[in-house]
Structure 1
Amino acid sequence: MWLFNKYRRGNFQASYNALKLYLKNAIRALKYLRRRRKLIVIVVVLIYVATFGYTNLFIRENQATPTRGVIVTLIRSTNRSIFLTINMIHSIIQFYPTNNGYLYPFIIFHDENFTSIMRKQILSCVLRTKKQLQISFELLNFETKVKVDPGSRLEKPIGYRLMCRFWTYDVFYHPAIIRRKYEYLMRMDDDSYFMDHIKMDIFNYTFNAKLDYLYRSVYGESIAPMEPILERFLNKRSLKAGCIYNNFFIIRLKWFYESKQVQSFVRDLTRDDFMLRQYIGDGCAHAAMLEIDKEIKAERLTNISYGHNFHLMPSGNPLWSFRPVTTFYDEIKNACHHLIVLNFYHRLVYICIIIYLLFWYVNFRFRSLSISPTQLDIFLNSTLCGRLIRYPNIILTESELLQINEEASSFFSYSKDCSLFQRSIKISSAELTYPLAFTILIHTNLDQFDFILRTIYHRYNYYCIHVDIKSSLSLYQAIENRVKCVSNIYLSEKRINVTWGDFSVLEAEHICQKVLLKKSLTWKYYFNLANTDLPLKTNFELVEILKLYNNQNDITSLPYRSNLRQKQILSNRTLPSTLSLPFYKGEFHVLLSRSTLEYIHKNSRVMDLYYFLNGTFVPDEHYYSMINRWKETPGFYPYDHDLSQITFMTRYKIWNDRPEYHLCHGSYVRGICVFNYQDLWHLATSPHFFANKIFFQHDRLTPYCMAQYLDIRINMKQENKDFSMIEHDFYKKLNNVSQYCFATCSYRERKSEPTEMMPLEGYTVDYAEADNGLIMHDGKYFFKAVREGDVVTFATNEENERHSWVQALYRATGKLIEK
């Protein structure tokens, strides 16, 4: 790549000299290595022992389990906590029943003082006895400037209060919990452990008993600060059963997210950092949740032998009563016996690291070019934007804010002429063969339009711009001048007076859609953008993800909860015979495959819906949501959108009536968060394609930092074609992407496993076997592919579901067989 870039700049002689120097140094390096073959062999062996023996070799969960459970712990960055955590995990490995060898995954939360040596110590100790174990580590930012209120139990420091808030609120909304779609969460503290064999899978028991909450014991503690809140919810100032002993519980996450009483209660607890200023134990908060929600199904677990904090709770004892364990540290050594020789291994690892570094220094000192693989790390660690992206709730000083605002001002001073489209970005073959189409509706704010166009523009994509007829003449002329610079941006000749909630929104978009369909036959997917959108993915990342979508659309759709709203839509008008109730509602912002958009503009039933919605309120929020339900629509999805899951990828929006409302640090407009720079950490880690909304008049740091972050990823991709920040499995498992793969499967002829992705009739498949880690309901399995020679059988009374399965079979094999 380096030589190629030099050649393209026309410096052929420089390329020739560089090639000679490169070959000369390569020959010198080979001779050097040949003279030291024995040393190299020894180093390789030592490196293998030092690295592969003590690194994270866990395997992703791939064994059948009826529930998606996770074991969570929060540790301190101390040697004692590390030893306790190791002991806790070993007690689960030794005493917890497994399902065909499968053990539930662990998530270990830690602060920024947690080191790679501590991580390696946990993994090297645990994985020696259970290599097929999934352990992930997640960073928490516990920095806060909140001061404890005088007289509020000062013996409980701010760190302990942060821990209480974590187990009451933070853990449930951490991306690691939400995005992996766990159903149940088990808490195990670092100083908790099982002391005898557990006779049942507690997760399974909770699932089969249809419980929402399972706990071990109760205790008494003052709840004075919480009494006013309790009085609002329970009409009393006390708890009837005391507090939950706060080192072990299992919770059904969907209950927590969907219980309105619990969400309202937790919101009151965390508002204005109340839990930090006034001490409230998380055990008492959990006990209050159980009383506030009258429909909860909770149970006390008494038939396990469970230890905590140097004490053992005998089996069958439900009360807060422990007998001392005097040989606790001996138990730790017995549970992790190979730690006795860990000091020797530490020395061996240090020696290997030194030899390893010397070897690679000798190897690479001959290279005339070194491409740094750490651009992203440097950006995240050494820039103000990087810190805002990496750390949640970070607060910049006045001098830092002044500095970053000057950087942003300098960035936004780029030329607003044709040079806006002349960024030197290398085109990948994947992007070149997978063009995209975009519509942008604009009314005002030219600077914001310039930013989004500069960020998303690529010469092989297609763009249509609709300028509101109410917009100023100067804005229209400025956009007209920009469009003249390139041949793949089209300015809508017909202009509409666009009004929010009016049919004009759909009308303006329809105009641009027709332009895009006419101008090119090659683009694959269509986005409708607003001027207030913020790109969260590079163009290459969009292409990489959309290839996984298998021509599926990304559209939200939910039925109205009342018949009254359905009648309001009809508004005493006659419904065309091609349409029927119920009506569905969703987002106006959508992702549509080309085949879907062609269907929309050619189908008479769609036209009936389009004209019927003229005169209704917010018709754009019904239009696509209705169409995508119809089974004749390409890539249709006939199910309700699940608000409790992250499934709609086209836009990242935070609504003020959703559980994640607390993430928004900006303001709300029409119920939607207007992000600011303090939201960068969750914007940057979001799996969505775009975010909505940003307003330049309120904040320019957010778009500036996201643009820097995207540019870094583009540069790293150009330097290293294997670089990717996309979690493919996450997108493959989205409901609308994977919905056509529910089936049961047997094999008539076993085929060899493919080594790469195989395209079949425009769709992509990878594995022939069921992913047993993703068992669905009613005995249906999730399949990533079906191949010729495989037999797919299905049985259901639900017609829409049957059509989905038939569609799955056809997409995978090109054959239709219904039974």
Structure 2
Amino acid sequence: MSPLRARPGLLVCAALGVFVFLYLRDPTAEEPGEGPPRPPVVECGYYPDELCSALFAGKEAAPQVAKFCKNPQGSEIGAHFHAPGNCSRLTRGLRFITRPLSAEEGNFSLAYIITFRKELAVLVQLLRAIYAPQNVYCIHVDEKAPRKQKAAVQALVSCFENMLLSPRSGEAAASGPTRLQADLGCMRALARPALRWSHVLNLCGQDFPIKTNKEIVHYIRSRWRDKNITPGVAQPPNNGSTTSPGAPEAPPDASVYAAPGQTLKEPPHNLTVYFGSAYYVLTRKFVEFVLTDTRAKDMLQWSAGLRSPERLYWATLNRLKDAPGTTPHAGWEGDVRAVKRRNEEGKGHDGCKGHYVQDSCVYGPGDLPWIIQSPSLFANQFEASSDPLVVTCLARRHRLRVLRAAEVPVEPHWRFDQEGHFDMKLSAERRQQTRPGKRAVRK
């Protein structure tokens, strides 16, 4: 019996798996015995891996193709596939990796908290990329998500013993008290003794990893083994001396965090309030501290009236000197999330090649070179509905890098189809970067 929960998972998966499989299955996949392999496809039609390679290299290779891919032909998605009969076929068809790929990864389990509101195709590609059987995953589904998408997420979660839905469902906006409560609800579920993990990371459903699981594990173990990562500073940044490239911008007046008509009260326990990122990497001991310490509970109650409490809560508690794994003197350290913000154009990046939503870039194909050169663990944000090619190319590159570093035999169904040219291209890039006399580029 799963330590996560006892549920009629197979029945739910069988009932709802048809929808997930037809709606989300990687179009590059094929069933055994279906004839000669087809060229890789995305929702908009067929394209060669040469296109992805060119986009990663920063070449304006196929703007017409990228534009064409913004108008997907939905009827072409599942036309070539048959519905699965059980969870095993569903997960194999979606190309999930089902064994730890190295001893280091197998002995260092991570927990993930993922909030989902829209972009189901991106969420499934994200889960497929970060999935490892030794990790655990908690997904908070926003109550405003479309009904069919909720059913699809439930079906997929039911097929994995190490995934669970948040016990506190409800609205989870991109920011605000509900977002903070969504994270804490998953933390309570993940903190059960039966679940073994070392660090927890939070994501949203429109993120995608830049690094592999092995690279994430190595980064945490080598630099942050017993420490939390909560980038932030003591005062809201209002000049260049307190910010770093990619740091979120905030007005200098802390009262902007108060709801309209309210006055910002003094924080409890005379805490110094820090402003920082909503995204983190936290140790298990720190999570247990947050769920039980009086100061953390009082801070949560105090922040309930603020507009963006998640940008204050984690950064503030991680500066307490007596809490587990805290970094009282840290600033913006920690390469957690790569985001192109409008206010950083010309300083942290060369502009958004997709489009801005609330001053954050929704990536386009032209952003791919910047993304893969970032030292961050994850990038945000992606929309398959507007640019399906972006996350599809990243997913193919990510899987190739994962399998190339695997220390166990690679199962055939872990591979995406038609990888030959792309794999050779990546290998050539690596040789070029590490030739004698050349300085290696950090990926």
- Quote the residue 2:370 is aligned against: 682
Residues of 2 paired with 1:593 and 1:580: CA distance?
21
Q: Distance in 1 between matches of 2:394 and 2:378?
A: 11
1:385 aligns with 2:385: no
1:705 aligns with 2:393: yes
Are 1:653 and 2:339 an aligned pair?
yes
1:641 positional shift: 2.9
Q: Distance in 2 between matches of 1:412 and 1:594?
A: 45
Higher alpha-carbon deviation: 587-596 or 712-721? 712-721
Superposition CA RMSD, Å: 3.5
| Structure 2: gaps of 5 or more residues | 1-47, 239-250, 410-426, 435-443
In 1, distance between residues paired with 2:79 and 2:151? Answer: 20
Query: SS at the partner of 1:578?
Result: helix
* Residue type of the alignment partner of 1:442: F
Q: In the TM superposition, what is the alpha-carbon distance from 1:576 to its structure 2 partner?
A: 5.3
Q: 2:106 aligns with which of 432, 452, 455?
A: 432
CA distance in 1, matches of 2:126, 2:330: 32
CA contact (8 A) 1:528 1:589 kept: yes
- Residues 652/397 of structure 1: CA separation in 2 closer, same or farther (3 Å cut): closer
Give the C-alpha shift of residue 566 in structure 1: 4.7
* 2:185 match: 511
Shift of the 476–569 alpha-carbon distance from structure 1 to 2, 3 Å rule, reads same
Contact 2:142-2:172 at 8 Å conserved across structures: yes
SS of the residue aligned with 1:634? coil
Partners of 1:400 and 1:572 lie apart in 2 by 49
- Write the distance in 2 (CA, Å) between the matches of 1:400 and 1:663: 18
CA deviations on 1:622-652 (whole Å, 9 max, x unpaired) are: 111111111122232233635xxxx431100
Q: 2:66, 2:389 within 8 Å by CA — same for their partners in 1?
A: no
Aligned residues: 339
The reply on whether 1:575 has 2:276 as its aligned counterpart is: no
Deviations 1:681-714 (A, max 9, x none): 1211222111001111110111111111111112
Matched, 1:522 2:192: no
- Which string of whole-angstrom CA distances, capped at 9 and with x for unpartnered residues, describes residues 250-288 of structure 1? xxxxxxxxxxxxxxxxxxxxxxxxxxxxxxxxxxxxxxx
| Residue of 339, 348, 355 corresponding to 1:667 | 355
Task: Encode CA deviations 1:198-217: one digit per residue, 9 max, x unaligned.
Answer: xxxxxxxxxxxxxxxxxxxx
Aligned 1:148-297 pairs, distance under 5 A: none
User: 2-side partners of 1:719 and 1:402: how far apart?
Assistant: 39
Q: Aligned partners of 2:405 and 2:165: how far apart in 1?
A: 32
Q: TM-score, normalised by structure 2?
A: 0.68
Whether 2:254 is the aligned partner of 1:565: answer yes
Cα displacement string for residues 597-646 of structure 1 (whole angstroms, at most 9, x for unaligned residues):
1221121111111110001111111111111111122232233635xxxx
| Partner of residue 231 from structure 2, selected from 556, 562, 566 | 556
Query: Is the 1:579–1:609 contact (alpha carbons within 8 Å) kept by the matching residues of 2?
Result: no
Letter in 2 for 1:421: T
> 2:66 and 2:179 mapped to 1: Cα distance?
41
> Paired residue for 1:621?
311
The offset of 1:395, in angstroms, is: 3.4
> What letter matches 1:602 in structure 2?
T
1:596 equivalent in structure 2: 286
Matched, 1:421 2:91: yes
Deviations 1:50-79 (A, max 9, x none): xxxxxxxxxxxxxxxxxxxxxxxxxxxxxx
Residues 179 and 310 of structure 2 are in contact (CA less than 8 Å); yes or no, is this contact kept in structure 1? yes
2:336 is aligned with what amino acid?
Answer: T
CA contact (8 A) 1:553 1:636 kept: yes
> C-alpha separation between the residues in 1 aligned to 2:79 and 2:221?
33
Q: Distance in 1 between matches of 2:257 and 2:365?
A: 40
Shift of 1:401: 7.2
Partner of 1:772: none
Aligned residue in 2 for 1:635: 325
Question: Amino acid of the residue matched to residue 535 of structure 1?
Answer: P
Residues 565 and 523 of structure 1: is their aligned pair in 2 closer, same or farther, counting only changes over 3 Å?
Answer: same
| Rounded Cα–Cα distance in structure 1 between residues aligned with 2:276 and 2:114 | 20
Q: Is this contact kept in 2: 1:496–1:507, CA < 8 A?
A: no
The whole-number CA distance in structure 2 between the counterparts of 1:382 and 1:442 is 29
Q: Deviations over 1:429-479 (max 9, x none)?
A: 111111110111112232222221122122211011111122333222222
1:719-798 aligned at under 5 Å gives the runs none
Q: Distance in 2 between matches of 1:444 and 1:599?
A: 32
3-state DSSP of counterpart to 1:383: helix
Indicate if the aligned counterparts of 1:651 and 1:691 stay in contact, CA closer than 8 A. Answer: yes
Aligned pairs for 1:17-32 (under 5 A) are none
Tell me, yes or no, if the aligned pair for 2:172 and 2:182 is still in contact at 8 Å. Answer: yes
Residue identity opposite 1:575 in structure 2: E
Report the Cα distance in structure 2 between the residues aligned to 1:401 and 1:387, rounded to whole angstroms. 15
**Cα deviation 1:549-582 (Å, max 9, x = unaligned):** 222222111212587425864943653541334x
Instruction: State the structure with bigger RCO (CA 8 A, min sep 6), 1 or 2.
Output: 2
Matched residue SS, 1:660:
coil
**Equivalent residues of 2:115, 2:203 under 8 A apart:** yes
SS in 2 for 1:554: coil
CA gap of 1:400–1:632, structure 2 versus 1, over 3 A, is: closer
Contact 1:650–1:688 at 8 Å: present in 2 too?
yes
Q: Whole-Å Cα distance in 1 between the matches of residues 330 and 191 of structure 2?
A: 29
* Partner Cα distance (2:285, 2:99) in 1: 29
Structure 2 residue identity aligned to 1:673: C
Question: Could you tell me whether the CA contact under 8 Å between 2:70 and 2:388 is conserved in 1?
Answer: no
TM-score (norm. length: structure 1): 0.38
Specify the code of the residue in structure 2 equivalent to 1:654.
K
Distance in structure 1 (CA, Å) of the matches to 2:112 and 2:339: 19
Contact 1:443 1:471 (C-alpha < 8 Å) held by counterparts: yes
State the match for 1:444 in structure 2.
118
Identity in percent: 25
Name the residue aligned to 2:155: 481
Cα distance in structure 1, aligned partners of 2:79 and 2:406: 24
Contact 1:579 1:605 in 2 (8 A): no
Aligned residue type for 2:61: I
Cα separation, 1, equivalents of 2:356 and 2:66: 26
Q: Which amino acid aligns with 1:392?
A: G
Distance of 2:253 and 2:165 partners within structure 1: 41
